[in-house]
Structure 1
Amino acid sequence: MSGGAMTTVIDESTFRQVLSRWPSGVGIVTTAGEEGWHGMTASSFSSVSLAPPLVLVCLDQGIRSHDLLIRNGVFAVNVLGRDHLALGRRFAGMEPGVTDRFAAGDWLPGATGSPVLTDSAAWVDCRVLHRYPGGDHSIFLGEVVAAGVPRITSPLLFHSRSWGQLADPLPDRVDLADTGLTDAVAAPHTARLTHALRRAGVRVRLTSLDGAGTAGAGAAGMSCSSVHVDNASAAVAAAEAGCPAVELTVAPDGTGGEAVHAVRAVNGAGHPDTLVVARIRDALRPGAARAGLLTVQRLAAAGCGEIVLEEPAEGHDDADGASPLALRRLLQDAIPAAGPVPLRLALRDDHGLGLVNALTGMKSGVRCFDTALGGHGGLLATERLVLLCSRMGVAAPLDIAAVRALRAELGVLRRQPPAAPAPCSPARAAASRGPESQ
């Protein structure tokens, strides 16, 4: 082989195919001037510098937008969310007969006068600082004078000449919380199952501090457990009794309810390490998505350690089983809204959709699930989710053999007659009522 330079001829079709394999976000580049507003869909957008804040866009020299940016000297880039597909196609000229592209969407003039999409995933408003030649395109370097993130949502993507959304990687592992065990059989018989699940790393939710497996109120006795309480005072009492996690159920009303008060109360009582878990009931109910998202944002901002989205129970007016498509759409907004706070799903299997929705949740970014051995109370059965995980190479706290043995033991215990309840100690009774009742 000679040492001279290699000359390679690349035809335009091949080059386009190569570039199409690079996924990118989608934005609408807008500008304003004497000729009014103008905009076009573009994906050639990139950040350049943080200090000073600089971005660039690349525009074909043969299109009208290119000349308008030169004359106007300003532009805005509006990053599109996953629900802006129609708007992206509109500004790409893919809808014949459209004479006013800005008739769709809610637009306002930005600091430079360039139109800004009020419900975009993000936007930057810029002055043209420099223009550089780039073959048949020009590179416009913009100085950012204003920017915003109107809402948290997943982005619209462009790949292989088609529009899409984020890829769906499966998690390496999932975490489980059993929220039905202590209701499945009489309390005195659940100790072995409770301790076995705890040792495996499954958190067991107790209905009170008197529940099964709570021998000793210290942290060791409550390891890997949570207790459900009704108010902030009871949450403080549980934290002082050594429970590492407390759970409160709130409505999807956008406020966060008693869970917000519980976070403040538990932290104020000197227990910042106690995990406050907020459960949003009926969060997967059709029509509750917007209020549920507002509630997720409120709970995350308040400092909740986990947020659980509950599917409505059978018998609820809207309990037809959560649609996998609707669940995916909800999670694509709920996970960014929660930020670093983990989301858990409490799925039901009344209509046979539990495993489908669990897989949808995993591929959407959920790593934590509420389950119940034997599917008690209509919840997704622990053994079914563990089996699904094993078939897909996703690690779970329990292996198949262990969960089957626990399921068999549960079946035996459920056939035993209930025992008389053990007397409650005054200390535990006071803790379950909360300080305000003492």
Structure 2
Amino acid sequence: MSIGHAEFMADWFTKHGVPSAAVTSRVDAAGRQALLTAFRKRELRVLFTVDLFNEGVDLPMVDTILRLRPTESATIFLQQLGRGLRLDDDKSCLTVLDFIGGQNANFRFDLRWQALTGDSRRAVEAAVRDDFPSLPSGCHIELDRVAKEVVLANLKSTLPTSKNGLVAELRQLGDVSLAEFLRETGLKIEDVYRSASIGGWRGLRRLVGIDSSAAGPDDRELARAIVWMLHIDDVDRLDLLARVAGSEHPGGGPLLDMLHFSVCGPPVPLTERDARLKRLWAEPARCAELRQVAEVLRDRIHRVSVAPESGRVPLRVHARYSRNEACAAFGMTKPGSLREGVKWLADEKADLFFVTLVKSAKHYSPTTMYTDRAITDSLFHWESQSTTSSTSMTGQRYIHHVERRSTVHLFVRETKIAGGALGVPAYLYAGPMTYRSHTGDRRRSSGN
């Protein structure tokens, strides 16, 4: 609000029957005192001011505040609000008419309500939704239905996902766990790891000054590796991750092989697995972070996953896996060598189908734009590669896999579009499939 704006508003109100005045730096000290005296005597009904009344003025009779200027300072917001919060015998409540919040798309209700209540973002959202049930005795805040919807929508749309926003949130909360940070801010774990420049949870704590320990030689590599694990959503892998991060060697097995390729990537052979575990354990801060990540991922599991009846591989139907993890589960020692969406593993007698449902010309050639899709909840249409005919060895294996005692496994994802530092999406394991029928010579469908 400018001085000109204040003078315009005072003139407009006065012309419309509400005696008003503008108290600005253009009015000398004696003039300001005269206007305040007239206001206390109720000769003036409204005073318009620019910054002069933020503090140091005692006007307990004020029962209405018009907010006509934006401010990004929570302190100034509280000071302005405080002009009307003084008790007075003739005042039953304070009415605040805010003409800014609904006009500015960048208005931050979260900062205002947090400053007002002292609560975290999560607590503020709950308070708005539940009509502020925990205010001190004698205090009451009421939002009508539309106002409540506007505030809640604003709280969700202004989540501090930028680097500076995350730093500010953690600085306010202090030395909390990852789970507490996400709970109090309303953020997702991906928001902490989306930007590689932050360096994950430990990196964020270092930026705030909470973690001052020196980074080891593998710190940056482990920060990237944690990003590749955020899709994990079954208890078997999360339990193993927590145990390994606690410096426990689980012995071996395909689950550990899957974890190895998640941490190190396909370029690092399995023969280096134990050596890499020792390097992980030499980074205690990242191990602690991994344990917290495992806890957060476990708490957010919302999909029931079950082990296939065969139990030959440590996969769970409806859990998500990277392609490297899926291949390692079937004993493939070099999953990075897989370049196509299908893989036959002779030792396991298993065909793996990796399907992306939404394909774009940017990522797929015209010959690989297969129209794979779910027909029903138990029937899936899958198109084989254009070079595979029904009479070929591969085609015959697909068609007669039941008689030949081989298995077909379907992994599905919606898109392959990468999410920044989060990388490409993982696949959902749809489970073992059973051939139903096919049409044409070079396309076929399967059902589970």
Give the TM-score normalised by structure 2. 0.22
Higher strand share: 1
Q: In terms of Rg, which structure is larger?
A: 2
Of Structure 1 and Structure 2, the greater helix share is in 2
> Which of structures 1 and 2 has the larger relative contact order (alpha carbons within 8 angstroms, sep 6+)?
1
